[in-house]
Amino acid sequence: MVGERIESTSRRGFLELALAAGSAALLPRSLAAQDRAPRPGKILVLGGTNFVGPAIVERALERGHEVTLFNRGRTRPELFPGCEKLRGDRQPEGGDLEALRGDRTWDAIIDVWPESSALVERTARLLADRVGYAFFVSSIAVYRDFSRPDITEDAPVHEDDPGWYGGEKVLAENALESLFPGRSGVARCHAILGPRDDGTAFHYWLRRLAEHDEILAPGSGRDPVQFVDVRDVARWIVDCVERERPGAHNLCGPAKSMGFRDFLEQTREAIGSRARLVWVGADELRREYGVQSFSDLPLWAPLDEDAGFQQVSAARATEAGLRLRSLTETARGAWEWWSAEAFAGTTFPLGGNGLPREREVEILRAWADRPDRR
């Protein structure tokens, strides 16, 4: 199986990166020396041990910054042994922020993944007078209308719409700008993929391609798809911190537009799969087989449903220096992480996204038996 082949070649080196990361030694010394920030600073990362957080911490350490982590100490507490770790618990009300009180100062804070805008506002209010710059990881879910392509940062966002993901992100962005006027940055990210991704969307396709000889592929293959590598997100965020870059920027790739056919074929090639892709039209999938885009077949959003959802503009960030790696590198990094021995016992919410394999096989058989395909 593909997973076994990759597993045998990647585990030794990859586990060191995944579990023992904690210093600029993650890079060769010569490269690390060339990649230092002109003025190392003190950065407080709220979270920092799950998915986006570790990538940010690694990048900040590579650049020579002094990083402090604030979290509960429950998720991978063994990461970054060389960093200062403050323990606490963020809650909309109550919780424990005692470790953040006092007169300590930081050059910047990075807020990675709060569950609600109240968490952002409460922590930011506590630190606003003692921190120079604040950064928040947001989402393209803030936008109100995906019916048209080329959505920019000036497009309408959800207003006064609390209680759900996109609405809470907007409220969080507004809170940060209010408390750090002119000295805060926001990354509105599309689907984030890569190492430590414990979501189900991309890994649905990785597992299918690695484990089966034939898989269901949706639509014509021309529907666009967008994503961004977690390491590119981290590099952008740390660069924003160093430059104190203000305002919101969409973070999405690839650098050149990509259809779903190229997305699956390049992913297949990246992990060494020989699975055959069976393309079934969008109308047939929806009308005859009851398949829903995105939830049943992750990351697939047909143009006739939401033309703008997979055509968000990253021009502003690109002009400011955003660099994006290839899908090949992203797919390999994600699959290596998934295949790593240290995570063999990790439980992922596999039932919440994607077609069950049994249902996929039923559709493939029905599609092959159609009279018009004989």
* Pair of tokens at residue 285: 């999938």
* pLDDT of res. 7: 39
* pLDDT of res. 304: 93
* Pair of tokens at residue 221: 């293959």
Contact 64, 57 (CB under 8 A): no
* pLDDT of res. 247: 97
Dihedral sign for Cα 189, 190, 193, 198, please.
positive
Q: What is the CA radius of gyration of the chain?
A: 21
* pLDDT of res. 28: 41
Work out the angle at residue 266's Cα, subtended by the Cα atoms of residues 13 and 11, and round it to the nearest 5 degrees.
15
Q: Which residues contact 83 (CB under 8 A, 6 or more apart)?
A: 22, 57, 61, 67, 68, 69
* pLDDT of res. 371: 74
* pLDDT of res. 8: 36
Please state which CATH class domain 2-196+227-255+312-326+342-352 belongs to. Answer: alpha beta
Q: Per residue of the chain (374 residues), give pLDDT as tens.
A: 454 434 333 333 333 333 333 333 343 434 344 578 788 899 999 999 889 999 999 999 999 999 999 999 988 899 999 999 999 998 877 789 999 999 999 999 999 877 789 999 999 999 999 999 999 999 999 999 999 999 999 999 998 888 899 999 999 999 999 999 999 999 999 999 999 988 889 999 999 999 999 999 999 999 999 999 999 999 999 999 999 999 999 999 999 999 999 999 999 999 999 999 999 999 999 999 999 999 999 999 999 999 999 999 999 999 999 999 999 999 999 999 988 855 555 554 444 579 999 999 999 999 998 777 65
